[in-house]
A and B are shown apart, each in its own frame.
Chain A
Amino acid sequence: MNEKEFVGKYGLFSTIVVSVVGVGVFSYPNSMAKEVGTDGWIVTIVAGFICSMSLLIIYKVVNKNGFIPFYNIMENTVGKLLSKVLALMLSAYFIFSISIGMRIFTEVMKMNLLGRTPTEFILLVMIFTGLYLVRGEVSALVKFNEISFVIMFIPIIIVLLFATRGGDISNVLPVLQHRPNDYLNAIISSTYTFGGFEIAFLILPYMKEKKKIKKTLLNSMIFISIFYALVVIICLMFFTKDHTRQLLWPTITLIRAVVIPGAFVERWEGIVMTLWVLFYFTTFVNMFYFSGELIKDVFRLGDIKLSSLILAPIIYIVALYPQNIAEVYEISHKCTPFFIIFSFIFVPLILLLLKGNRKKEEVK
């Protein structure tokens, strides 16, 4: 078993961060501005806190079961049949969210970088690249996450800091002026953007140092919350809440509008736009791997190379299903709440609470 434990603290941290931060960050300031105006950043921090709780439950579940793989935990807890159903639903959620994300990503790319490249071609290239990485198993995946974390966040944070130049910090005012109902709705929709931390189920069994996991998990959630809050604040500073409401993808428009004084290149945002490829790609690959792993176990396929190959066409079809960008967001708004409640609350809690019963039966 020892050679299987190869993921370090940084590996876990970067895996969770890059899986969570994906295409959601493009439109996130817009949905926050729509629902709570200037209070988006407070909502983000609260939502981050709620998601950390859910993540801690995941940790407890894995810890109680002695760090065995996720599917075995489910089989031990809820039995064979039910675990198959749960695993299928979870993987349906992952496939759904990465497909919708894929479509949004493609639309953004087509809008800003590759105007005439066919949607189908962008999808195929992304899926094949993802497939190649998934075939490299968990070790390759974690290594990839570790590297991309640095490539993604260092430039983006530098760019965002430049963006503060044109902004006015007082646009973040006033604070806490909405009805409690609005906050509740906003917190719920804010948690959607945190989807992806369930990857912890996959990674935790491979951890080297078991003691420091809890702290690393919390750190990663804090990092994500701060990053999201920063994006929301900078968008508000730059565009004010009235204009942020109008923009489909405020974060991208923001990057395009940033002017670096005295820079020797003008209109350099093409470079930054390519960074977004990584933002989506890491989310995609991690979720893809996890759902591949689940499908492999459910149907006893024995190898993730086969199961991921089976999933690839499904992703392609679901991503192409919506007719236009409006339909993409409509479908996503309809289905996401159900999936989120299922995977954030239902699955972790059921695994945590039912555990005792099952063990007693086994003892008998």
Chain B
Amino acid sequence: MRLKKTIPIVLCGLLLSGCWDKVEIDRKIFISIIGIDLGKDATNDKDIKKIKPNEPFQERISNKKLSIIYGFPDISALGPGNTGASQDKYLSVDALSMEDGIVKATGKSSRILHLGQTKLIILNSGILEQPETFKEILDYLERHPNLNKMMQVVVTEEKIEKLVKYKPIMEKSIENYLSGLVESSNRNATILPITLNEIIIHLDQNGNAIIPKISIDKEKDDIILSGIAIVKAYKLKGYLTPIEVADLEIMRGKIKGGNKVIYKDGHPIEINIEDINRKLKMVGDKNKLQFNINARLEGQLREFYKGKEVLSKTELNTIENNFSESISKECEIIAKMMQKEFEVDELGLRDYVEKYKPSLWKEIEDNWEEVYKNADINVNVEVKIRRIGVIK
């Protein structure tokens, strides 16, 4: 009887103690930031193309296509007595591919790399110039089961090494700084945060995407978010400046905050955008489409100038009209630019036709590019100033 009771206990000890996936937490490093730069051999892929898939020792060909930097917080600096985030450390490798990068980085480190906590990916704009390389990287990011799909993605024209080593004033590490910047997007319309998930979805839909761009302000040595990169068919098509981003946001109906300014008699008049209501309408047939974007912005007057009262219906009306006209014109120019210059539809027009006019969509699906290029886009923005602050 006693034996019967003890055997299971012994067996439990033997069988349940082993665990294949056990990694002590202090043996891990949590990668918080991945920077991907073009490597030395980025443009030189002649040798690679010659290789047949069934040749031996293919790993031997050392093609350093990518240069990857993994940033991770120094956990040993955290502990009792130390508060807040710790400084980041960096591991940089030259690699053939993303997976090769992980292998090489593991070879360089005493700990196991964990990608599940990654918050930020920085792509060098060079990557976007090479659609084939960009597709390889994207496939890796999509296929990886543990990668955080909600991380932010940014593009930069700088060398990534320079960026990650930048010390922001407010935060100890760059990914905290950038994620803070992105979070403030509901106060600043010129910032347009994009997650990896959104990029993957957009690229799956039509090969186009927009990715925010960061750069270093050379004079003041600051990192700034400076507009967005437009990707068409997995290739960089161009950049929009921050002001243009705000207009794009208005046309997409996604703006969450931010300011707009007009000058009147040489004085700036500022309003703060609080709410937007955008309606998209479409008329026409498969030969010629006309899109009407009607956006209504609601805002608050922030700055006028002393000595003049604004608390009158006519005065407010003229200001509103000035704003409306100015923003409408701006938006139309941006829309034209997107249409003619970038040939990218980021206003959601394609989505709209596909969702709400399915029968028309079937007719124009195959030559949407052409139809989009020839379509008329009218933007009509109406600004309403609801509040004027606490003085007349």
Chain A residue at minimum C-beta to C-beta distance from B358 = A174
- Chain B interface: which of A107-115, A180-188, A295-303? A107-115
B114 CB, min distance to chain A CBs, angstroms: 10
| Stretch in A24-32, A41-49, A206-214, A240-248 touching the partner | A240-248
A117 vs B22: C-alpha distance when bound (angstroms) = 10
Would B356 and A239 count as touching, CB distance under 8 A?
no
CA gap between A257 and B148 in the complex, in Å: 7
Residue of B nearest to A113 (CB): B21
For B204, list chain A residues within 8 Å (CB): 240, 242-243, 245-246
Give Cα A173–Cα B145 distance, bound, in whole angstroms. 29
Contact of A118 among B20, B145, B356 (CB under 8 A): B20
* A336 at interface by CB-CB < 8 Å: no
Are A117 and B21 CB-contacts (below 8 A) given A111-B145, A257-B149? yes
The answer, yes or no, to whether A256 is at the interface (CB within 8 Å) is yes
* Binary per-residue interface labels of chain B (100-138) against chain A in the complex, 1 for a CB within 8 Å, 0 otherwise: 000000000000000011000000000000000000000
CB proximity of A20 to chain B, nearest CB, Å:
26
Give 13 A-B pairs besides A111-B145, A117-B20, A240-B201 with Cβ atoms closer than 8 angstroms.
Answer: A112-B145, A116-B20, A170-B351, A174-B354, A174-B361, A177-B359, A239-B201, A240-B204, A245-B204, A257-B197, A266-B117, A267-B117, A267-B148
Q: How far is the CA of A115 from the CA of B144 in the complex (A)?
A: 12
Binding site for A on B (CB under 8 A): 19-21, 116-117, 142, 145-146, 148-150, 197, 200-201, 204-205, 351, 354-356, 358-359, 361-362
In the complex the two chains form, what is the Cα distance from A170 to B145 in whole Å?
27
With a CB–CB cut-off of 8 A, which chain B residues contact A257? 149-150, 197
Task: Judge whether B146 and A116 touch: CB under 8 Å.
Answer: no
Bound complex: CA of A245 vs CA of B204, how far in Å? 9
Q: Does A259 contact B (CB under 8 A)?
A: yes
Which residue in chain B gives the minimum CB-CB distance to A117? B20
* Chain B residue with the shortest CB-CB distance to A252: B145
A interface residue count range (under 10 / 10 to 19 / 20 to 34 / 35 or more): 20 to 34
Could you jot down 22 A-B contacts, CB within 8 Å? A111-B145, A112-B145, A113-B21, A117-B19, A117-B20, A118-B20, A171-B355, A174-B355, A174-B356, A174-B358, A177-B358, A177-B359, A177-B362, A242-B205, A243-B204, A246-B142, A256-B149, A257-B149, A257-B150, A257-B197, A259-B150, A267-B117
B240 CB, nearest partner CB in chain A, Å? 22
The answer to whether the Cβ of A148 comes within 8 Å of any Cβ in the partner chain is no
Could you tell me which residues of chain A, from 91 to 121, have a CB within 8 Å of some CB in chain B? Answer: 111-118, 121
Chain A CB within 10 Å — which of B200, B205, B358, B361 has the most? B358
Q: Which residue of A lies closest to B206 (CB)?
A: A242
Chain A residue, CB-CB nearest to B116: A267
Q: Is the CB of B146 within 8 A of A112?
A: yes
The answer to whether A173 and B20 touch (CB under 8 A), given A240-B201, A257-B150, A267-B117, is no
Q: Known contacts A174-B354, A177-B358, A257-B149; is A114 also within 8 Å of B20 by CB?
A: yes
* CA gap between A239 and B149 in the complex, in Å: 12
Would you give the 0/1 interface string for A261-296, flagging 1 where the beta carbon is closer than 8 Å to chain B?
000001100000000000000000000000000000
Q: A164 interface residue, CB < 8 Å from B?
A: no
Q: Mask for A305-336, Cβ within 8 A of B = 1, else 0?
A: 00000000000000000000000000000000
Given contacts A243-B201, A243-B204, A267-B117, contact A253 B21 (CB under 8 A): no
- Contacting residues, chain B, for A239 (C-beta < 8 A): 197, 201
Q: Is there contact, CB below 8 Å, between A173 and B205?
A: no
Q: How far is the CA of A243 from the CA of B138 in the complex (A)?
A: 13
Tell me the bound Cα distance from A240 to B355 in angstroms. Answer: 11
User: Is there contact, CB below 8 Å, between B197 and A173?
Assistant: no
Please measure, in the bound complex, the distance between the C-alpha atom of A177 and the C-alpha atom of B355, giving whole angstroms.
Answer: 10
Given A114-B21, A116-B20: A170 in contact with B355 (beta carbons within 8 A): yes
Complex: how many Å from CA A69 to CA B224? 73
Binary CB contact string for chain A from 214 to 244 against chain B (1 if under 8 A, 0 otherwise)? 0000000000000000000000000110110
| Chain A residues with CB below 8 A from B145, complex form | 111-112, 256
Please name all residues of chain B whose beta carbon is closer than 8 Å to the beta carbon of A267 when the two chains form the complex: 116-117, 148
Closest-CB distance, B229 to chain A (whole angstroms): 21
Known: A170-B355, A242-B201. Contact between A115 and B142, CB under 8 A? no
Say yes or no: A173-B355 contact (C-beta < 8 A), given A112-B146, A246-B204.
yes
Residues of A within 8 Å of B21, CB to CB, are 113-117
